Structure 1
Amino acid sequence: MRRAVVLAGLLWIAAPPGATAEFVEIPAGSLRSVLAYEDVPGEVRLEAFALMERPVTNAEFAAFVRDNPQWRRDRVPTAMAEGRYLSHWDGALEPGAGDAPLRPVVQVSWFAADAYCRAQEARLPTWNEWEYVAAADETRRDARHDPLWRERILAWYSRPSNRPLVRAGLQGANAYGVRDIHGLVWEWTDDFSALLMDADDRLQGDPDATRFCGAGALSMRDRENYATLMRVAMLSSLQASHTTGNLGFRCARSLP
């Protein structure tokens, strides 16, 4: 753990100007995927990468918008972000008063999240990278088979989505040193749109929620891990221009 903390500090020092969140090095390893598709092996091998310790905040995203005014809510094309984009901010460049700047940014589209990460010389994490880190609790790198841990995550998912958000980074770190992976906001992944695929591409984006949720259940190796199924269902229901009041993001970096 001490080595991870030291490396996190080194990665923060090496970050480009404007990147204020620390990155934690995630060691290489394998993840038994719960998705059961022909092109998804049972064990997914992951190379070492770095992940933001916490989600991107309103203040950090506001700094990005100031430097990249094409991402202001009053200028961004509707094809890149729907009308709710940053609608909770007090103004086009003002996240709000009090601790609002320190809360995770939400109402942000995949396109905007991707652009932010690219501006930090980073990228959005892949689904497998995110799930690899999300499988850990405070002491174990893979706690997915612990029913109490599962229930704790599902308890958060069952809360009303319109509850006020708290500051990012307040929760204790998991075994990798990453905070807020559960219990604060849902998060975009780079390949979110590839989680549920249909043999006929013309059926992508089918609004029949019952159909797509059923397909997700049939494509799960571990159907008891309902929290993962909920994440697949939630992300697969979105388009890249969509925004919600409880969906944020964090960035990742590939390592040499």
Structure 2
Amino acid sequence: MNKRLNLFLLLSGLLSMIAGCSEESFNSDTTGSGDIRFDIGFTSAARVATDAEFESTWEKGDAIGIFAYDANNNLVLNNAKVTYDGSEWNSSDGLYWKGKTLKFYAYYPYDATVSDPADITFQVKSDQSGTTGEDNDKQSNYSLSDLMTATNTQGLSVGSTVSLSFKHEFVMIQVEVPAQALGKGLGASENMTVSLKGVQTGATLNLTSENTPIVQTKTETGNVKMYLTGKPGTDGYNNYTYRAVIPVQTLQGGSDLFLISNEGVLYKGSGPDAELELQAEKAVIFTRSLPNDIKNLHRVLIPAGKFMMGDAESIYASMKPVHEVTLSHDFYMTKYEITNAQYAAFLNATGVGEDGKGQVSYPDGKGNEQTEEQALIKIDTDGVNYENGTWKPQDGKDDFPVINVTWYGAKAYADWVGGSLPTDAQWEYACRAGTTTTYSFGDDSNELGTYAWFSYNSGRKTHEVGTKAPNSWGLYDMHGNVNEWCADWFDYYSDDAVTDPTGPATGSFRIARGGSYTGNPQMCSSAYRLNRKPDEINTTYGFRVVFLP
């Protein structure tokens, strides 16, 4: 029952207007000579339920509203609901001929509140990626935003089949975002969302005007979250493809039209180069690429809040006493531990030589910032290597966590990408993700292997980041894989409640968190702390980065 769109008009390489003709028939057969029979189809194939080839289908649960008038313009069908059950169209009330001849007016999607066919108000859904309805009766908001009309005013007589060919009164906007080969934790991802910015979202419909239905776009504007209809390599799609349906309107040239949120980073995408008048029954296609920026790391928003820090049951004094901590500001934390590929890019961009030494700045404890050369990293068979003047990940280790990195090396990278190392408190708060248990998933260490690479399952080596389950806030490898450097100098806790703690101004040891591939279950707990010299180089040490919103 699908028909394929048959006309493409390319515009400026990035834009395409799509139009075409198709017709689909769905008969609703009922018993009794007075029953009304319908033949329902489309005049255009740019239907909401479309695949990469723009093939068109009705969906189960689609419902239309029908008005009918007799020869004397008496209303005999008043917003009758007709629903598609997946194979045919039916009305739960039964529809019968009332009069010798009838004229029919129909619209989609059905709205039970409509009482006057000459004055229908319609609003597209602001989140067309979502659904409306209960579990067993959900409908796509994308579909429910596609206003369509159909009329048959020939004055059909009793027993005639009522043909209704629906016309799309709105326009479909599509944007394609190409995938990027930047490695794990960078580039466009399947979690990306795209919204239309500041578009007109409502319209009024006069379904029974003399010649043809009249649709007038309302002036109010808003943002519309688009529907992800395809991912690269699936069902014929080459890019991440998003669609939305909006009323006919004029897009201004050179203005921002798209808001693209990708793993905690917000981008703006322009609309057409010049003013563009949209047309009903057609679609406009854009291609917008994310910048190939190796600093735009995938990140997770961590909300401000309070928690109890430490572990009263621990045998280690460094984890006690438990005390209340308030983090007064939201922050972002990288979704994954920093990888070999990401760190190698930093080393090359900053001109670090084979000795692994580079410049790093940090507070001197006296209110000043000091900059000096320090060892940042050491070559390792599971980490990065230096060949022919270039730093590279070891073969097959691009997406493994960087190791043999000193605290100075972690700090220098965090500065370079515009972030910082997490404080001791930020790290534990993010790891716990609202829990008070030993681990972010509970107290049972038998479940640790689901979330962590540690001594029992790692084979005493690092593993690709993000291959175990994340915590409930979407952070991977907070338990195990590598210990993660934090910003603070080490000190013992007090039992005082604190707000936004950053540790002492000076010290001898920096804090590391999370446990590693060599650690036992206790070392991988949410509260466990290590303290190490900042220049220590160890195959179990890596890090992640935090950013302020």
TM > 0.5: yes
**Is the Cα–Cα contact under 8 Å of residues 161 and 246 in structure 1 kept in the other structure?**
no
1:24 aligns with 2:310: no
**What does 1:38-77 correspond to in 2, within 5 Å?**
42-46=323-327, 47-70=329-352, 72-74=353-355, 76=357
1:94 aligns with 2:392: yes
Partners of 2:467 and 2:453 lie apart in 1 by 16
Distance 1:190 1:48, change over 3 A: same
| Richer in helix (by share) | 1
**Is the Cα–Cα contact under 8 Å of residues 12 and 22 in structure 1 kept in the other structure?**
yes
Letter in 2 for 1:120: V
Partners of 2:357 and 2:475 lie apart in 1 by 31
Partners of 2:355 and 2:266 lie apart in 1 by 34
1:152 aligns with 2:440: no
Structure with the larger RCO, 1 or 2 (CA within 8 Å, 6+ apart) = 1
Matched residue, 1:181: 478
1:197-217 C-alpha deviation (Å, 9 max, x unpaired) = 8xxx99956xxxxxxxxxxxx
Measured after TM superposition, the shift of residue 125 of structure 1 is 0.6
Distance 1:91 1:160, change over 3 A: farther
Where in structure 2 are there 5+ consecutive unaligned residues? 1-128, 130-190, 194-259, 268-290, 312-316, 359-371, 494-504, 510-521
Secondary structure in 2 aligned to 1:189? strand
Partners of 2:538 and 2:407 lie apart in 1 by 11
Secondary structure in 2 aligned to 1:55? coil
Letter in 2 for 1:94: K
Distance 1:9 1:195, change over 3 A: farther
Letter in 2 for 1:116: Y
Matched residue, 1:170: 467
Where in structure 1 are there 5+ consecutive unaligned residues? 206-224
Whichever of the two has the greater Rg, that structure is 2
Measured after TM superposition, the shift of residue 94 of structure 1 is 2.0
1:167-203 C-alpha deviation (Å, 9 max, x unpaired) = 1122222111111111321101111x32348xxx999
Secondary structure in 2 aligned to 1:21? coil
**Is the Cα–Cα contact under 8 Å of residues 379 and 385 in structure 2 kept in the other structure?**
no
Measured after TM superposition, the shift of residue 9 of structure 1 is 2.1
Partners of 2:543 and 2:332 lie apart in 1 by 14
Distance 1:57 1:41, change over 3 A: same
Distance 1:21 1:229, change over 3 A: closer
Distance 1:59 1:126, change over 3 A: same
Distance 1:202 1:150, change over 3 A: farther
Q: Percentage identity across aligned positions?
A: 24
Measured after TM superposition, the shift of residue 151 of structure 1 is 7.0
**Is the Cα–Cα contact under 8 Å of residues 16 and 120 in structure 1 kept in the other structure?**
no
Matched residue, 1:217: none
Letter in 2 for 1:183: G
Letter in 1 for 2:409: A
Letter in 2 for 1:30: K
Partners of 2:523 and 2:395 lie apart in 1 by 37
| Richer in strand (by share) | 2
1:13-69 C-alpha deviation (Å, 9 max, x unpaired) = 4599322430110011112011789xx982101121100000111001111011111
Q: How many residues align?
A: 218
Distance 1:66 1:53, change over 3 A: same
Partners of 1:32 and 1:113 lie apart in 2 by 27
1:245 aligns with 2:527: no
Distance 1:177 1:85, change over 3 A: same
More moved, 51-60 vs 15-24: 15-24
Matched residue, 1:11: 264
Partners of 1:86 and 1:119 lie apart in 2 by 20
Secondary structure in 2 aligned to 1:240? coil
Of the candidates 142, 167, 179, which is equivalent to residue 435 of structure 2? 142
**Is the Cα–Cα contact under 8 Å of residues 86 and 107 in structure 1 kept in the other structure?**
yes
Letter in 2 for 1:59: A
